[in-house]
Amino acid sequence: MDIISQFCGSGKSQNENKLALLNIAALSANLFCVSTVAEIESAISALPVQDARSVAGWLQDYLDAKWDKQMDEDIASGRLDPLWEKAKADIAAGRVKPLDEVLNDE
């Protein structure tokens, strides 16, 4: 059953159906007119914890995809080439530590 059938239907007067449609329109406007950070934060704050976790997971996936795309673009454009050349020179000159040593803080 779609949302309109759920709120509007047989047995209801024309005015009741109009009111139901206005309520649906208002609900839709509230759901899709959240545009500022403050409005988004407020909307998320009103969610049940599990729904907020779902939003957090979606947002992390979104940010990860944006990061990956930016890295791919930077690599393809050669923007990271100077950093790569410096890293290779530092490795060749012995100016780096093995990662295990850095992570273990030895």
Look at residue 102 in the predicted model and tell me its pLDDT. Answer: 85
pTM for this one? 0.55
Find out whether 51 and 34 touch, Cβ atoms under 8 Å.
no
Query: Domain ranges in the chain?
Result: 1-33, 48-106
How high is the mean pLDDT in each 10-residue block of the chain (106 residues)?
52 69 63 76 89 92 96 96 96 91 78
